[in-house]
Amino acid sequence: MKKGPIILVILGLGIAVGLYFAPVTPSNVDSDKEVVEDVEKTIVSDDTNLSPEERVDAALKELQEGSTPPMLVIKKIIAVADEYPKNVKAHFTLGALAMQTGQYEKAVGRFNTVLEVESENISALQFLANAHLNLGDTANAKDYLSKAAGLTTDSVQALEISNAMEKLNIN
């Protein structure tokens, strides 16, 4: 009988067992803290000469280009929203991003903030209705769609709202 294949199998199993039980060391904690500090400095120092809307646009451009990790882009927009609590563009953008990631409760909060500033923001009303619908709250979804329908003068938007209302059986 040939010993070569048996030795290779035993050697392979030995290596596999050795790798399985090998100690795993965590990453360097100090370097992780440095990365977080660098990110926070970047968020604070970048684009300080730009208006809040321009900062949001710049962050979205970075997201679109893929030049910045998505979470860093979101942190930049959150920084704008924190610095300017009534900034519609920052809150609307964060609400739309929350919708994309299925964070409907967060989206509701962001769009409510938009509506505190611009009570007749039809797009915010539509997104808010969709967020409530995804949370299973059809009553609020209907209310927001009805309010949006009463405000819109754009025929395309009116058709979108009408179709959404039809799906919810709103007359």
pLDDT (tens digit per residue) in 37-60:
665 565 555 566 899 999 999 999
Looking at the domain assignment, is residue 111 inside a domain? Answer: yes
Q: Is the pLDDT of residue 1 over 90?
A: no
pLDDT band for position 79 (cuts 50, 70, 90) = very high
Alpha-carbon gap, residue 7 to 110, rounded angstroms: 64
Determine the residue type at 32: D
pLDDT band for position 11 (cuts 50, 70, 90) = confident
Average pLDDT, the chain: 84
**pLDDT value at residue 97:** 95
Looking at the domain assignment, is residue 17 inside a domain? Answer: no
CB 108 within 8 A of CB 135: yes
Looking at the domain assignment, is residue 51 inside a domain? Answer: yes
Q: Is the pLDDT of residue 109 over 60?
A: yes
CB 108 within 8 A of CB 76: no
What is this structure's pTM?
A: 0.71
Looking at the domain assignment, is residue 122 inside a domain? Answer: yes
Q: Kindly report the CATH number assigned to the domain that includes residue 47.
A: 1.25.40.10
Looking at the domain assignment, is residue 2 inside a domain? Answer: no
**pLDDT value at residue 154:** 84
Which tens digit of pLDDT belongs to each residue from 124-158?
999 999 999 999 999 999 999 999 989 988 888 88
Number of domain units in the chain: 1
C-alpha of 104 from chain center: 10
Q: Is the pLDDT of residue 65 over 80?
A: yes
Torsions phi, psi of 149, nearest 5? Answer: -65, -35
More confident residue, 93 or 15: 93
Domain that includes residue 86, residue range: 28-167
